[in-house]
Structure formats: structure tokens, C-alpha cells
């Protein structure tokens, strides 16, 4: 009797995160437009993207207790920051408040500090903690490749260290506590924050007033030539696909480099061991429906294995960039986690400063 042919295995459906149909539709449109903007020659159709990227202007008049102003860092490369601050000392709850230098996501190629989504995010962070938030409008790829984004981020630190948040940047009675600065960013912004922290630690003896007290890496964009289990299992997840991330890495990395380049492939014990002593305590945020989560977990494990102070925060039902959408309950929870992290490490920094006799 002839043997029956084996029953073909049914292709497993990509797990679907819980969200409303409206948000699911919005994410589908967002993905379709960004995909359509990618030209075969490796450039982007920024005119098309402009229809999708709704911008918000800075507003020095308080809105729900938060004001914002734009400050130029370097006009020659159009480098600027949007500074969000409590509208008054009373709103700040303290004369000196921490500073968060924030890097937006977008795969190094999309969005800006003026994008409405990120304007709202920074307002929420400023109000909830409270803190002065300096959102960096760094240059974008493919027009500006590695290391332009890292250069911009590091130069913003130098700008702030030299008094860039002085008169006019924040209201009277509210003062930035430069001894309690934090780097934060999501996706590509988390990658930039890591590399800026790395540069900061390499130049630890050259800072006048600025001290990094912590790093918040929200679903940071790391990678490598290897395909991880989560990248394969979550191939149909919202926003992130291997086709998209492969294109973004190619547009960002130097010509001819692969994804094992040092900018992308930081999730190793060797890379963590090379970080300077001044590399700050880190909080790593992971979402259960983010295809990039295996790289992010390896990053956490590499930092922990090298003796760094690092904390892992996981949200099992979170998609990539979940916290940008207030519809997700975890979005509010993350803001509370960030607040707790900032408060804890600000207090720790003050204790260390007092123990050293107030030396900077």
C-alpha cells in the first residue's frame, strides 16, 4: 500500500496584539505610506511623507501647564532642539528640575522633533515627571548617514553643558538641574541615546556642569545579520518588518557596511565591556509584540553581564512604539516607570555629590 503524503503544515498566523480597529487601520496607512516613500535608488520621497507627518509648532504660551520653545544649536546643519518646560516654578514643584535629552524614533530616516506625535509625547513626559525635556531635531538618513545623528546628539550635550538652556529657554523661577541629566529615546532614538551616552562616558573628564544620571532606551533599534526568533515569529507585526528595517539600516550605515556594524550590533559582551566608567544606569523597555525584542533583551543582558546597572521593563501586549499612542494603557504605565527611574537616579546622584563634598 502506498504511503500517504505528509499533511502540509498550516502556516502559523502572526499573533495579533489587542488594539482598536481604528488604530489598526491608522497603523496600516502609516506603514503603507512609509513603504511607498522608499524609492528604488535608496532615497526617500519626502514630499509624500510630508502629507503623513503632521507638525506642531512650538508654543511659549502654557498648554496644560507646559510651554515649549525652539532653540538653534547649529544653523549650518539645521540642528535645533525643542525645549519643553513647566510653565512656572509652581508647576515644576521644585526650583531645580532634571533635564531629559530626548531622541525621537523613525528608523533614523523619518519624523522630527516637530512631529505632532512626539510633541505630545514630550509634553506628557515634561508634565508627568516634571522635567525639562530637550527634544533633538537631528539630521535624517539617507541624506545624512552614520555618524551624523550621533554627532548631532553629542553636540546637543555640549550645547547644554555650555549654558544653552539659559535665559529664555525656560520660565523665570524654573532652573535646569544639569547634574541630573537623562538621555531617552525610542526605536532609532534609543539607539542614538546609547551611542551618545557612550561618547559622553569616553569624554567623562571634559564636562563643566552636565552629568548623565541615567539612560532610558525605549524599544531601541539594534540589529545584526542574524535573524532572531522574534523577528521571524512576529513577521507581520505592526510598523516593523524585516524588509523595512533592512532598508533603514542600509540607508543609515556607511556604504558597504552590513548590520554587524558597531552602530547596529551593540548587543554583545564585547561591546558592553568597551563602555566607559561614566556610562549611566540604564532602563531598557521591551514590548511583547515588537519583532526587535530579542536584540533589546540581548542588549540588557550584555549590560548586566558587564556589571552595569540596568533595569528591564517589559510589556507583553505592547507593539513597537506603543507608548506614542495614549490608547494603550501601557503608555501611561511607562510614563510612571520613567518618572520612578528619574526620581531614583536623581536622588542617588545627589547622595553621591553630597558624599564627595559637592564636587562636580
> Any idea which residues carry the catalytic annotation?
187, 290, 320
Cell numbers representing residue 296 in the block: 533589546
Rounded to the nearest 10 degrees, the angle between the axes of helix 148-161 and helix 188-202 is 60
Q: Contact, 219 vs 287, CB < 8 A?
A: yes
User: Cβ distance 135 to 118 under 8 Å?
Assistant: yes
What's the longest Cα–Cα distance across the chain? 91
Q: Hey, what's the torsion of the CAs at 42, 48, 52, 53, to 10 degrees?
A: 70
Cell numbers linked to 351:
547622595
d(CA 198, CA 213): 13
Backbone angles phi, psi at 252, to 5 degrees: -95, -45
Cis preceding-peptide flag for 147 (omega within 30 of 0):
yes
From the list 40, 39, 57, the residue with the least C-alpha distance to 48 is: 39
Amino acid at each position: 500500500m502506498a504511503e500517504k503524503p505528509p499533511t502540509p503544515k498550516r502556516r502559523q498566523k502572526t499573533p495579533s496584539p489587542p488594539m482598536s480597529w481604528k488604530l489598526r487601520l491608522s497603523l496600516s496607512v502609516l506603514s503603507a505610506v512609509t513603504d511607498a516613500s522608499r524609492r528604488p535608488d535608496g532615497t526617500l520621497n519626502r514630499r509624500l511623507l510630508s502629507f503623513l507627518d503632521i507638525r506642531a509648532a512650538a508654543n511659549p504660551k502654557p498648554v496644560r501647564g507646559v510651554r515649549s520653545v525652539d532653540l538653534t544649536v547649529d544653523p549650518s546643519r539645521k540642528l535645533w532642539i525643542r525645549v519643553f518646560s513647566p510653565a512656572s516654578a509652581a508647576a515644576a514643584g521644585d526650583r531645580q528640575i532634571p533635564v531629559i535629552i530626548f531622541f525621537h524614533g523613525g528608523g533614523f530616516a523619518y519624523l522630527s522633533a516637530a512631529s505632532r506625535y512626539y510633541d505630545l509625547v514630550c509634553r506628557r513626559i515634561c508634565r508627568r515627571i516634571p522635567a525639562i525635556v530637550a527634544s533633538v531635531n537631528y539630521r535624517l538618513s539617507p541624506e545624512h548617514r552614520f555618524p551624523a545623528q550621533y554627532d548631532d546628539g553629542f553636540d546637543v550635550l555640549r550645547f547644554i553643558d555650555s549654558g544653552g538652556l539659559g535665559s529664555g529657554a525656560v520660565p523665570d523661577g524654573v532652573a535646569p538641574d544639569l547634574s541630573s541629566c537623562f538621555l531617552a529615546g525610542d526605536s532609532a532614538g534609543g539607539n542614538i541615546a546609547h551611542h551618545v551616552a557612550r561618547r559622553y562616558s569616553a569624554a567623562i573628564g571634559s564636562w563643566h556642569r552636565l552629568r548623565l544620571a541615567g539612560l532610558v532606551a525605549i524599544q531601541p533599534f539594534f540589529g545584526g545579520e542574524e535573524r532572531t526568533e522574534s523577528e521571524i515569529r512576529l513577521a507581520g507585526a505592526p510598523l516593523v518588518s524585516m524588509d523595512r528595517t533592512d532598508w533603514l539600516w542600509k540607508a543609515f550605515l556607511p556604504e558597504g557596511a552590513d548590520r554587524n556594524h558597531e552602530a547596529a550590533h551593540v548587543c554583545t559582551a564585547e561591546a558592553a565591556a568597551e563602555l566607559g566608567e561614566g556610562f549611566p544606569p540604564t532602563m531598557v523597555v521591551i514590548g511583547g509584540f515588537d519583532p526587535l525584542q530579542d536584540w533589546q533583551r540581548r542588549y540588557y543582558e550584555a549590560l548586566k553581564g558587564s556589571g552595569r546597572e540596568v533595569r528591564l521593563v517589559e510589556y507583553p501586549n505592547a507593539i513597537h512604539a506603543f507608548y506614542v499612542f495614549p490608547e494603550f494603557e501601557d503608555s501611561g504605565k511607562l510614563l510612571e516607570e520613567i518618572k520612578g527611574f528619574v526620581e531614583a537616579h536623581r536622588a542617588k546622584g545627589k547622595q553621591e555629590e553630597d558624599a564627595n563634598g559637592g564636587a562636580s
